[in-house]
Amino acid sequence: MLCQHTNQCPNAEAVDREAARTVATFREQGWSLLCNGVIVFEDTGEILPDGTMIEPHRGPARHALAA
Ligand SMILES: [Zn+2]
């Protein structure tokens, strides 16, 4: 567990794992590292610390659907 925040962030197994804080952003590569060890990509895909791949899960924006 990398998280050293006073109020511990959700761990990598938690459903709200994305609520953990970003500790490093590699904008040019399109991903960020969260303090719970999860890597989050710009398209909302994720890689967990154990190597599990999470498919992107951000749906189309509502205003895009309305148009
Ligand atoms: Zn944290």
Q: Is residue 46 part of a domain?
A: yes
The token pair at 51 is: 């190597």
Residue 63 pLDDT: 72
CA of 35 to the centre of ligand 1 (A): 5
Q: What is the pLDDT of residues 10-62, one digit of tens each?
A: 999 999 999 999 999 999 999 999 999 999 999 999 999 999 999 998 777 66
Residue 38 pLDDT: 97
Range of the domain at 46: 17-66
Count structural domains, the chain.
1
CA of 15 to the centre of ligand 1 (A): 15
Structure pTM?
Answer: 0.81
CA of 24 to the centre of ligand 1 (A): 12
Q: Is residue 33 part of a domain?
A: yes
Q: What are phi and psi of 47, to 5 degrees?
A: -125, 125
CA of 16 to the centre of ligand 1 (A): 12
Q: What are phi and psi of 30, to 5 degrees?
A: 80, 25
